[in-house]
Chains A and B, each alone.
Chain A
C-alpha cells in the first residue's frame, strides 16, 4: 500500500467505513498517515434497533453517534467529523451545497487519497448521492493536482461493468481492529458478528477472504 500524505474518507452512514475500508484505514493510521473521516449522517433511519429492541427511532441517532466514535477509535482515526445531515435525505439536498462541503474539506486537508463509494454501483441512494458529489468536487480540481479517488462498489452489476477491482488490500495484519470496528457498531451488526468467532476458529475460507481483502476501484473520470 502506497504511503499517503493524508487520507480523506467520505461516507454517509456510520458503519459504511466498517464494511468497506476499516482495515485499509487502520493500515494507513499504523503507517502514521492522518485520516479524516467525514460521516454525513448518524444513520437515523436504520432499521436495526436491536432484537429485542434496545433503541427507538428517536434514541437511535444518539446510540449510533457513540458507536461511530467508538468505531473511529478502534480504527485509530484521529479526525472524525459528523456533518449533521439526515439519513436517506442526501439525494434531496442541494447538489451544490454537498459539492462545496467536500471542496472545502479537500482545500483544507490537501489529501493525496480520497475514498468514497463508486457512483452508479453503490446501491443505497445516500451512497450514490455522496459519491456523485465527491466526484463533482474532485473533477473541479485541475487534473494534475487531483488526489487519487478510490471507490467502493457492491451493486450486483459492478464486476460486469467495472471489471475486477484494481485495488485489493490484504488487511490481515489489522483484522482485530476491523473486528472491533464492526463490534463498535453494535446496533447494526450485533446479529451479524454472532458467528464470527466460530468462523475464525474454523478458518471459514469465504469469510476470511471477505474480511481480509478490501476491494476498491480507481475512479475513471
Chain B
C-alpha cells in the first residue's frame, strides 16, 4: 500500500460504479484497547462481502480522506483513509493506518468475492 493519490483512487472508485461489487468495510481499535487502557471504550464494526451496487462514489478531504458511496437505497462511508493499493486482482484496497502504522479502518471494493 502507498499513501493516497486522490486522482488514482477517484478513477478506481468511478470504474466500479454502476455494477455489482463486493464490499469489505471494517473499523477497529484493536481487541486489546480496553486491556491497555480501562477508560477506553472499545468499538468497531465489520462487514465482509456485502453485495452492493453504487451510483457514484467520492473521495473528499486533504488527507486523511473520507470516502462515500451512494447506493440506490443507502450509503457506505469511511473516514480516516490514508493508504491504498489496486492489487493483482484489480481490487481497490483502502486503509486508514494510525500514527504507528496500525490499521484503524479498511474499505475494499472488488468485482469478485473476497476469500
Contacts and interface: CB of A to CB of B under 8 A. Distances in A.
A49 interface: yes
A164 interface: no
Interface string B82-107: 01010100010101010011111010
Contacts of B104: 47
A57 interface: yes
Name the interface size band of chain A.
20 to 34
A46 B102 CA distance: 9
Given A125-B31, A156-B35, A57 B103 contact: yes
Given A124-B31, A125-B31, A155-B35, A57 B100 contact: no
B108 A57 contact: yes
A47 B108 contact: no
Contacts of A206: none
A51 B100 contact: yes
Chain A to chain B: the 8 pairs with minimum beta-carbon distance, closest first: A51-B101, A47-B102, A124-B31, A47-B103, A53-B1, A123-B35, A56-B93, A57-B106
Nearest to A55: B1
Nearest to A156: B35
A120 to B, nearest CB: 14
A45 interface: yes
Given A58-B87, A58-B108, A123-B31, A49 B103 contact: yes
A163 interface: no
A50 interface: yes
B24 A57 contact: yes
Contacts of B51: none
A48 to B, nearest CB: 6
A146 interface: no
Contacts of A123: 31-32, 35
A56 B101 contact: no
Interface in B20-35: 24, 26, 28, 30-32, 35
B97 A49 contact: yes
